[in-house]
Each structure stands twice: as C-alpha cells, then as structure tokens.
Structure 1
C-alpha cells in the first residue's frame, strides 16, 4: 500500500522558494572573482564607460547650481594622468581607511590581551541568548551616533558574541550590519546626519520660500519610533530567515571549560571596568558642561563638535586603556613591548582589507571623477518628476528612487544635495513640507546600504566575515543581507504610510503638510 506524502505547509514552501532565490543570488555573486579582482574589473569598466559616455556627450543640469555636468572620459590624456598621480591620494583619503586602522589599534589590543574574550564569556554567562539578536540590531542603529564607528567595532563583536553562544557568527555580523547600515537614519537621539541634511533641505526650500527654516530635529519623532520598528524587523529576519539558512556553524566554538572565567580574569575584568568608567567620566567632564573643551568652541554645541569629530580616537582609547589594565593582572601585559606587540598583531590581521581598500578607493574615485553617479541620479529624479504620481504613490515612488540611486551613489549628503533642489520645491508646490520630503528620502537611502558593494564599508564587512568563513564572498554577503534590505524597505514604507494617514508630526514643530 502506497503511503501518501503529507502536504507541505505554506511556510515550508515559502522558505524553500526564498532559499532557492537567495541561493541563486549567492551562486551568481560567488562566481565573481575575488573582491579585490572584482573592484579592479569594475574600475576598468568605469574607465571604459566614461569614455563612451563622454563621446556621446552625455550630460545633465545640476539642479542646485544649474551647472551643466558632463560625463568625463578617463581614457583621455588628462584622465590617465589623474589616474596615475592621484592613486596614492585616493587610497590615503579613502574615508573608512583611517577610521578602521585607528579603531583596530584599540580593539586589536583588547583582543590580544584577552579582554574581549573574557568580556564576551562573561556576557554569555549572564545574558539570555534570546535577547542577544535584538540587542545587536538595536545597538547597530544606535551606533550611528558615533558616525561610522559601528561598522568597525560592533559588527565583528556581534560575530564573536554569536560564536561564543554557539550560534553562527555570520548571523551576528549580519544582524549588527543590518542595524548599523540598513537602519542608518533611525535613532533615539539626534546625530551628525540630522543637521547636515536639514541644512541642505533648508537651502532647497529657499527656492520657494526664502524664509523657510528646517530644524535638525525635523524628523526626530518618526526616526525615534523607527528605531524600534527596525529592531523588531531585523530580529525577525535574523531568527527566521538568515540564521536558519546559514545552518550550523562548523568552525571553532568554545567548550564549557573555555567559557568559565578564572579568578585572574575576573579581577582583570573588574579593573578594566573601573578604568573604562574613569575614562568615560573624563570624557563626560570634557563634553557635558556648556563650556566643555570637547564642545564646538564657537557654538558650544555637541553636534557638530570635537567630541563627535574625534569619536574614532576616543573609541580606540576606550578599548586600549581597559585592554592594558586587564592585561596587567592577567599576565598578558608585562611591559610596553607587549602593548606594542598587541597593536602590531591587530595591524597584521588587516592586510587583506588594506589591499582591498586600495583597489576599492580607486574604483570609487573613478566613478566620482566620471560624473556617472550624478548623471544617473539627476536622470532618475527627472523621470520620477515626470511620472505624474500624486499622494502616497508619489511619496513611495520617491522612497524607491532613493533606494535605487543609493546603489550607485553612496554618500547620503551628496545624493541629497542633488535631489533636494528637485523634490523639495516640487513637493512644496503641491503642499508637502520639506521635512516630509527629507524623511522619505532617508528611508530609501538607508535600506539599500547593506546590498551595494559601492558602500565604502562593504569591503570591510566582507573582510570581517572571512575571519569566520574563509569562503565568504561578495555574493554570500549580498544574499545574506538582501532579506533585511527588502524587509526594511517594505516595512518602513508601510510604517511611513500609516504615519502619513494619521497625520502625526514628524518632529518638534514639523508637520506633514504646509499651512
């Protein structure tokens, strides 16, 4: 007698369908060359396309300056000279390079002395594992207060913590990366991006109303609420899609004996905590008073300020000092030579990233020099303007356009400087405030950060991931992060649509509609 096959549940079919799609994306991506080679090929492709675009006289009118921006050929004599003479400058001025290396001096020493391992083992022993994932996503979102430091510090720590819990470290890295980059615009506090975008929005609004003022707190209510929404969505995607797809981690995992802390390690942790509290108190004394040394000397503001501008060195010291203090009673720091050795080991482990950063820096520089990014952005904006959409369809189309453009132009402020003069006046003329236009731009700008290799920290995340999975390539990372990107884009858009329909204020004194 034949046995009938039990029908599959819809959830099983959906998971298999999704897994097949992500598997296909991963296979295609991983079939590509090594990331270093890929960026080299992309750089060569940009040079070729720039020559074709220039020969075709491809150009746009910049909406802010009304200046004609033409495609620049990098195959010309001037272009080739610039490629050769600016190669070192491109590398040295590559935004993540200095931040990563400086932060790793402190983080690497803490790892060398054993502080990170001991702290993680202590954290595992006292924390419910069920809350580790949402905590990583939430901390990722909040880390945007420290500019881009979340990429450098939180993502590898999240991977290490997941490994210590016996979970897949790439799932931890993905959860933190999703929070840091996919939730880039959300936060419970005002960050450095808020006044930067507000200034651009105000300039664009001046084309319609010269007296219009856009405050840095313009989107605070919505973005603060979005922090919890992003945390919940990121938690769900990690637990239900990403981690099950990654499977069981087969790398090194600590045993129960290795989890246990020795008396020396407990003493080291106590003194490390004391030193961290003392260091934090010193920074607070220099920052919190209205005339604090680390405030802006002219405006006495914290945003911007020497505190935020110097956050990377402060983070490095925040790891370096406790790392040394921990190592003394434990015995891993006996003299200054041990400190230097620990920092040197950290730099030696960054060899692959340095090579990758050099090539990626050239590619991004070539893309900027060619003006291809600006041309794509302006043409996309003009296409949306001519679509004839109104109401929520128009606003959500702008979210989608921002997300697509973000795949090609990484800088949030650079894109907004291009798009604001088009969309802020356009939406003001149909009754929507500049604060609203800025907010929907930020939704789209955040959600695709985690799937574009053009995002300057993407190579760093690949390098961090390869410490736990040597076979991890760009395709694997994109396939891992794509569910977050899609889920954030859809859920954030729905969240905005509900906020819009209810007519809730976007921030203090910031309404949805004019008048």
Structure 2
C-alpha cells in the first residue's frame, strides 16, 4: 500500500487574527439564523410586505434601454394573491436548479451506487500528490462552466468527496469547488455560452453610439484565459491557509477505513468503464464535431448555442450512468436491471431536504422578480455611479463594486447586463473606453459575489450538499466560509484588471482597451 501523507490542517499557517475574528463573528451570527427552509419562508413574507410598501410609495425607475417606466408591484393585492396561489407549483417546477440537480444526480447516483466513484477516488488518492488537490479542484470548478450549470451539481459535491478521500475536511473541498465553479464563473481557457450571451448584449448597447460596432464572443478571451490561473492560485491559497484551518480536523460519524489498493475485479471494472466512457465520448464527437452534426444548431451549424450546449446536463448524466453500469457489471457490484433501478432510486432518496428547500426558495425568487424590486435596485445603483464623476481606473473599480453589489439582488448575469450595458457601455465609449473593457469589468464584479449571495439559485443546493457532512451548516456559516474567497478574488482580479488597463493589453482578438 502506498503511504499517503495528507496535509494536516492543524499544522497550516493560521489566518490573521482580525480576519479570523471577523469570520468567526459572521459564522456566529449565521449559527443563530433559522434553518434555510425557515429563512427563505420569512424572506418570502418580507418581500410581500416590502413590495406593498414600495408600490404604495409609487417607487419606480425608467429602464435605460427601453425607456419603459418600471414600477414596484405589490403582491398583497387581489391579483397578487391569486398569482401567489396559482403559480406556486409552476414556480417550483421551473426553478432553474431543480431539474438540473435531479437529472445530473441520476447518473452520478448510479456511478456512486456501483462503486465506480469510490474506485476512481481511491486510485486518485493512491497516486496523486495530496498538496495539489486544492488547486486541481478549484481549476476543475472554473473549467466546469463550459458545461453550463452542471458544475454546481457534479463538481461541488465531488470536491467534498475528494477532500474526504484524502482525509481532509470535506467542507473545505466543497468550498474550493464552489469557489471555482461560481466565484470563477467568467474565467475559462475556452469560449463558453456566457461569452456569446454577454457579447450580444454588449454589441446592442455599443450600437447606441456606433451603429456599426461589433462585439465578438472572444471579446474577453485573453483576459479570462489568464484569469483562470489567477483564480486557481488565489483559491488554492484561501482553501489551504484560511478556510481549512478554521474548520479544524474533520470527525466523521462513522470510522473510516484506511485506503487500500484496488482489487483485481475493481481494476478490471475501471478499465472497462474507461473504455465505455471513451466510446461514449466518441459517439458524442460524431454528433457534434462535423459541420452538419445532429447536436449542432440546425440552422447555423454552430456549437454555441446548440442542442449540445442546451442538453449538456443530460449528456453528463449519461456520461456517469454508462460507465457506472459497466463498472458494476464487470466488478460484480450489480447483477441485473433491478440493481440499476436501486441505484437510480438511491440517488433520489438523498435529495429529500433539497427538494423541500427548492420549493420555498423558488417562491422567494419568484416574488422578488414579480415585485420588480431587483430591477429597481439595479437601475438606481447604475444611476448613482454614473453621477459619481469618477474617471479611468477609479471609475472602473467603482463599476466592479457596483456590479458585485447588484449581484446580491439580481442573480442572473444576463439580466443584470441587459440593464447595465445600455447605461455604462455608451457612457464609457464617450470617454474612449471600449465596450469590451466595460464588459470585462462587469464580469469581475458579477463572478466574485456569486458565492456569497443567497439569491443565487444554486446557493441552497450547496447548503444541502454541505449538510451531508455538517448538519449545522446553514446559509450564514456557508457565507462565512465563502467570504474569504469572494474578497480575495475581488482584490486579485481587480489588481490584474487595473494592470491590464495600464499596460493597454488587448482583452481578446480585436478587442482593444480604448477606442
């Protein structure tokens, strides 16, 4: 057996006393908060009351893009009450993370039930350098953004499992993965769906000033490519030096056995599972790589957007399901279709708490959207920064901070940018700054605040995953864990952005800093 010497959190350098006191205070406050289900219930009631007060006070704003007047809508009216009652089920069914979580967990659950994931992790632990696990998990989280929202439901819980396999605190692994997936949302080594979506909104805003201006999906590619490694390094430091030492030594409820070498049957099962996943990937390649591929857009033949991107969660679920079944048959952990069915139901049985939480969270997010409070806050914030009088780097930093603040109330990156782009892109173009630069600044603020806002749809998902290892983990405690990542990402990313601006380096192909 190979000797594994995982890092001992007790021997790591301790975070600064002031920071530790602040995080401890946040955690203490968080511990006093009610259960997340109860908290979202009371927040829903609060939105109902606030919407009524705002509507009574005739609170309104003018949308900068459409020039439409947006007024606060009271939900405590006859129409509002009817909507609350009649659309509750629809709110739950259409809650974005719900279907993603359930579908992904079907495939992942089978791979876990048959023992495939355990065998892969044991092999990883026996051969991988223990001290490189943190950056690998953060980096994988950043790259998972190519798979849409799948990183939240696949990689975040997997990060906890990987850390536990290395006898490190699983909550630290969950935090590292969440930081990469959500905090590094805009960084990547490849062009993803978000790049195309934001570029389209930026182009529309830029054409207010210059009708011929075009913004490509590659507008921020150079900057986001380098940012990927920045996020990985910062996330590595925060995980090992701040988050994990604060968590202390993990004490599992059940005594864990030492990791042993794989048996002959397990090694054979892994080989056949590997061949199965290669065959599956080859099949997907046949459907996507040719210009006329079935999973490309039938009209434009593009991959982004395309049925491939839109169906990525289902494809990932199958990518876990097929090798999971193959491994189980070869290794002897399953015998027939009844065992496969048990694996599918086993994965669903662990999601009871999340499903209950999703119902309440879906109502809260729907109420917030119906009331128009999020849009009103966003537009008022945009007008405030526009009137600040700042120029150059101070203006850009202020804009980054505003983007992060608005993200606490409006979770969708595209929804925020649809509001902010028509204000800030023309404003900054008039002082010689490119739309691509404004878009990059927005993406920094949007990404870095993702991991500390309970309004982000997948935040309750992470809470539910974390409670597998810490029953007391709630929204407050998770925020206290993720705040160091958020602040460190914001600081490091802003420094990189200002340096990039001063050095006048193109943000992407044909994407200058100034125009």
TM range (shorter): over 0.9
Q: Match for residue 7 of structure 2?
A: none
CA distance in 1, matches of 2:513, 2:89: 47
Q: What are the residue-to-residue correspondences of 1:111-150 with 2, within 5 Å? A: 111-150=112-151
Shift of residue 289 of structure 1? 1.4
Q: What are the residue-to-residue correspondences of 1:168-207 with 2, within 5 Å? A: 168-207=169-208
Q: Match for residue 164 of structure 1?
A: 165
CA distance in 1, matches of 2:41, 2:476: 17
Shift of residue 322 of structure 1? 0.5
CA distance in 2, matches of 1:317, 1:13: 43
CA distance in 2, matches of 1:53, 1:161: 47
Paired residue secondary structure (2:16): helix
Alignment deviations for residues 47-101 of structure 1 (CA, whole Å, 9 cap, x no partner): 0000000000000001111000000000011100000000000000000000100
Q: Match for residue 348 of structure 2?
A: 347
CA distance in 2, matches of 1:453, 1:476: 12
Q: What are the residue-to-residue correspondences of 1:51-90 with 2, within 5 Å? A: 51-90=52-91
Alignment deviations for residues 307-347 of structure 1 (CA, whole Å, 9 cap, x no partner): 11110110000000011001112222211111111100111
Contact 1:108/1:342, CA 8 A, preserved across alignment: yes
Matched, 1:380 2:381: yes
Q: Match for residue 290 of structure 1?
A: 291
Q: Match for residue 3 of structure 2?
A: none
Shift of residue 14 of structure 1? 5.9
Contact 1:164/1:253, CA 8 A, preserved across alignment: no
Q: Match for residue 96 of structure 1?
A: 97
Q: What are the residue-to-residue correspondences of 1:2-401 with 2, within 5 Å? A: 15-251=16-252, 252=254, 254-256=256-258, 258-401=259-402
CA distance 1:12–1:179, change in 2 (3 Å): closer
Shift of residue 253 of structure 1? 5.9
Paired residue secondary structure (1:177): helix
CA distance in 2, matches of 1:447, 1:344: 36
CA distance in 2, matches of 1:378, 1:179: 29
Q: Match for residue 459 of structure 2?
A: 458
Contact 1:164/1:254, CA 8 A, preserved across alignment: no
Shift of residue 260 of structure 1? 2.6
Unaligned runs of 5+ in 1: 1-10
| RMSD of aligned Cα (Å) | 1.1
Alignment deviations for residues 107-157 of structure 1 (CA, whole Å, 9 cap, x no partner): 011111111111100111110011111000001000000011000100111
CA distance in 1, matches of 2:466, 2:88: 27
CA distance in 1, matches of 2:94, 2:159: 28
Shift of residue 404 of structure 1? 0.4
Paired residue secondary structure (1:333): coil
Q: Match for residue 7 of structure 1?
A: none
Contact 1:136/1:176, CA 8 A, preserved across alignment: yes
CA distance 1:53–1:340, change in 2 (3 Å): same
CA distance in 1, matches of 2:476, 2:426: 40
Contact 2:29/2:476, CA 8 A, preserved across alignment: yes
CA distance in 1, matches of 2:159, 2:440: 29
CA distance in 2, matches of 1:504, 1:418: 27
> TM-score normalized by structure 2?
0.96
